Chain A
Amino acid sequence: MSDWYSMNVVLIQTTLTTLLLALSIQVPLRYGVFSFAGVGAFGIGGYTGAMAMVHGEWSTWPAVLLGTLVAGVCTFLLGLVVQRLTGLYMGMATIAFTLIISVLAVNGGDWTGGAMGLYGAIGEITTMHIVLAVLIVVAFLAWTEYGRRGRKVDTVREDPELANALGIDVNGYRRLSFLISGLIGGLAGAITTLLRSTITPSEVNFHLVILALTAIVVGGARSWVGALIGAVIFVWLPTFLSFVQEWEKVAYGFIVAVAAIYLPNGVLGVVKDLWHKSRTRDERARVAVGLQEKS
């Protein structure tokens, strides 16, 4: 076990940070907000954390906390500005927000290290710390998915008019989704940056959006379990299939397209459907037997 762990420590850490990033995109989607601002928050959190360490000589955890909070606040403010947009417009406005972050980073001079990026933010983060952070986030998200709260969120997503009529504050929930998404994205960015000790503007780009989106779409967009499945698939797939490594990007594109067409609820949705079917089949079989015995 410990051998396996030390061999794959980088992959495990990448899986966890990818999971955080994926969650930051998934939260607004669950609230019916088509926002990619989580990736911008990833950039803000990463840069804030790195700047606090490099320029302010802060220690690791205050820097991570600062990155998380700044990203959360910025994304919340963005949410206030763009909240009346819907659908694709919302999506593109938030993508524009993400890309503006990277343009700002390129033009930040000494503060952000320009196009070369910021180096030397060596944080003291171990896998245990990341696991802890992920557990806290997941526990919180699982709490929001459960029971009454979960059903409220589902209603806000599936039928905003109905939710409004039921007295649910739809706009409040939408603003809240921006705040949560920003906090999680900022946390993911700060941890990733201090783990690798560098961040460059070219990291915060369209491909990061695609990676996060891909993980959710393939895994399942309705629950944090889906994001976990997606993150595991996309980090570990290349290590198991060497031919995938060679044509990695082609395979990913193909998988995303197929998932978008045939699995709208991702792998998790398929599993849930199968489970539901097998359960109802047992049930039906039992009822049928019972009817036969009666007659």
Chain B
Amino acid sequence: MQDLLNAATLGSIYLLFTLGMALVWGTIGILNFAHGATFMFSAFIGHVVTKHTELPFLAVIAIAVAVGAVMSTLTQLLAFQPILKRSKNQHAAEMRILIGGIGVAAIPLAIAQRYTRSSPFGFRSSYDAEVYQFLGLRITTTALIIIVTGLAIGIALTVWLRNSRQGLALRAIGVDAETSAGMGVNRPALALGTMAVAGGLAGLAGALLTFHLGAIAPETGDTLLIKAFAIVVLGGLGSMLGTVLGAYILAAAETFVIFMNWGTWVNAVSFGLIFLILLVRPQGLLGRKEVRRT
């Protein structure tokens, strides 16, 4: 049971991280490789700020969310928009966005590695996690906050995308960008907004994970990125509910592998999952069939 609880915490972190990536990729069609760096750098800025002044829990979270949103917006403005403007077709744009994202991601990573000498960093905060005992289960307040926030935001985003006008516009872009633009959808503005939300979610995940573990390493973002990809592929591109399910399934599978004492194989779970799903069911658990040709 304790393991299930740990899996739920891990899954919620995965969920918060992946939601942003899945939202951006599933709607405006950008696979943001700098998402992991945004995640890490938001927590890193939190670390630098709290080094000078001690801050309460919510203030650190707010800083991380703001940094994430700003970074993500800047990435969109300075890198992805110029690329989209200069690309002939979808295929070429996809590849250049991927490479551009890799380049952008290398910059904050290098800065953080240089500053911390590649050692893990944490926050200095007035916040103290309390441990609750409940039916023989141990849970910290941080873990509780993570689980609740993850689920709440996951469900809220799913509902919003399904029911709101902006959600409809975003989904329309995901199906056919040109036609939706013809129908009066303001793609650049929506793309910026979506990227900002995604960055904010990455920042939130970064801060929460750092509070939960005490410290994270600068390279954490890279590993998470591949896992997030596995989750999106598993759940199905464009399906927020699929992302929610995928995050918890991956977390459960990884916890199971650790539980069986096969610790060194943990990373193989997500990599193997990518493979398996792409071969057996390329549209994912809940995804729609690929609408785009080739």
Contacts and interface: CB of A to CB of B under 8 A. Distances in A.
Interface stretch (A82-90, A122-130, A141-149): A82-90
Chain A to chain B: the 3 pairs with minimum beta-carbon distance, closest first: A253-B106, A256-B103, A257-B103
Interface string B168-207: 0000000000000000000000000000000000000000
Interface in A203-226: 206, 210, 213-214, 217
A82 B96 CA distance: 22
A95 B226 contact: yes
Interface string B221-232: 010001001100
A256 B282 contact: no
B217 interface: no
6 contacts: A93-B274, A103-B265, A107-B265, A260-B97, A261-B83, A261-B96
B31 A100 contact: no
A150 interface: no
Interface stretch (A2-10, A174-182, A187-195, A244-252): A244-252
A222 to B, nearest CB: 13
A256 B226 CA distance: 20
A37 B237 CA distance: 23
Interface string A89-118: 101110111011001101100000001000
Interface residues on B, range: 35 or more
B92 interface: yes
A160 B106 contact: no
Nearest to A114: B264
B139 interface: no
Given A252-B106, A261-B83, 18 more contacts: A86-B294, A92-B274, A93-B275, A99-B267, A100-B268, A103-B268, A106-B264, A107-B264, A160-B294, A213-B102, A250-B107, A253-B106, A254-B107, A258-B103, A260-B96, A260-B97, A261-B79, A264-B86
A274 interface: no
A36 to B, nearest CB: 11
Contacts of B92: 264
Contact of B83 (A92, A247, A249, A260): A260
A259 interface: yes
B10 interface: no
Given A88-B31, A210-B102, A34 B110 contact: no
Contacts of A89: 233, 278, 282
Nearest to A29: B95
B106 A260 contact: no
Nearest to B107: A253
Given A92-B229, A99-B267, A256 B274 contact: no
Contacts of A210: 102, 106
A165 interface: no
A34 B97 CA distance: 13
B136 interface: no
Contacts of A100: 268, 271-272, 275
Interface in B246-292: 264-265, 267-268, 270-272, 274-275, 278-279, 282
Nearest to B272: A100
Nearest to B91: A87
Contact of B100 (A34, A104, A260): A260
A87 B93 CA distance: 11
Nearest to B29: A88
